[in-house]
Amino acid sequence: MTKLLITEKLITNKQDFIKFSNIQDTVEFIKYSDFSSNTTASLFEENNIKFIYDQFVNFRDLSNSNYKFSSNCIFQIKKNSLSKFSEVSKDIEVIEGSIKDKDKFLPWDLSNIIFNKKQSLSNEVISKFCGDETLFRQFISYLNKELLRINLLNDNDVEKISQLLDEKIDFKYELAERRLSNDKYS
């Protein structure tokens, strides 16, 4: 029976695969290109489960390759392509799994930590921002704009600043004014 593992991010290693699928049997990790090029029929029944780890598949790909859904394979698919497999639903088992970025930080998370006197920077947060150049650049850009907004609010009114920075007056200005007023009283 074919198994479809629904995930938004490809599962490429055995630890993640076991964690999300709960399959304890012996599983052979193969590339889709190796799977699709193997068109020879075996004389012996294969008991190994094959897991295609390097790409998402869809129903059309498998149908075009004349794949037998009674085979013992596991494919990764995105949730939005699940409905296409309705024709063969009796021959498939669906496994819902997801790899979440459990330690995902956004630029404003670090900015909030910096401005909050009760929180302190952890090594985890620092290493996340220092280890990812794109995230670090986003943070610097965000912090620069936030500091500029706070500095300008010190001497100007909100309308002038929003015009100068070409921004709408929204939560960013409320936050900047709160941070400015907290700084004045500390």
Residue 40 DSSP one-character state:
P
Min mean pLDDT across 30-39, 117-126, 154-163 is at 30-39
Whole-angstrom Cα distance, residue 116 to residue 44?
65
**Structural domain contains residue 120:** yes
Residue 92 CB partners (closer than 8 Å, separation 6+): 1, 2, 3, 4, 69, 85
Residue where a domain stops, chosen among 96, 130, 157: 96
Q: What is the pLDDT of residues 19-28, one digit of tens each?
A: 777 776 788 8
**122 SS3 class:** coil
pLDDT band at 43 (very low <50, low <70, confident <90, very high): very low
Q: Name beta bridge partners: 89.
A: none
**Is there a single domain that holds both residue 90 and residue 143?**
no
Helix locations, the chain, DSSP H: 14-21, 32-37, 59-64, 107-115, 123-131, 133-153, 158-165, 171-184
Structural domains in the chain (count): 2
**Structural domain contains residue 20:** yes
**Is there a single domain that holds both residue 80 and residue 162?**
no
**Is there a single domain that holds both residue 89 and residue 165?**
no
Whole-angstrom Cα distance, residue 54 to residue 10?
7
Q: What is the pLDDT of residues 51-99, one digit of tens each?
A: 888 888 888 888 888 888 888 888 888 888 888 887 777 778 888 765 5
**Is there a single domain that holds both residue 117 and residue 165?**
yes
Enclosing domain of residue 138: 107-184
Task: Tell which residue, 177, 115, 182, has the closest CA to residue 142.
Answer: 115
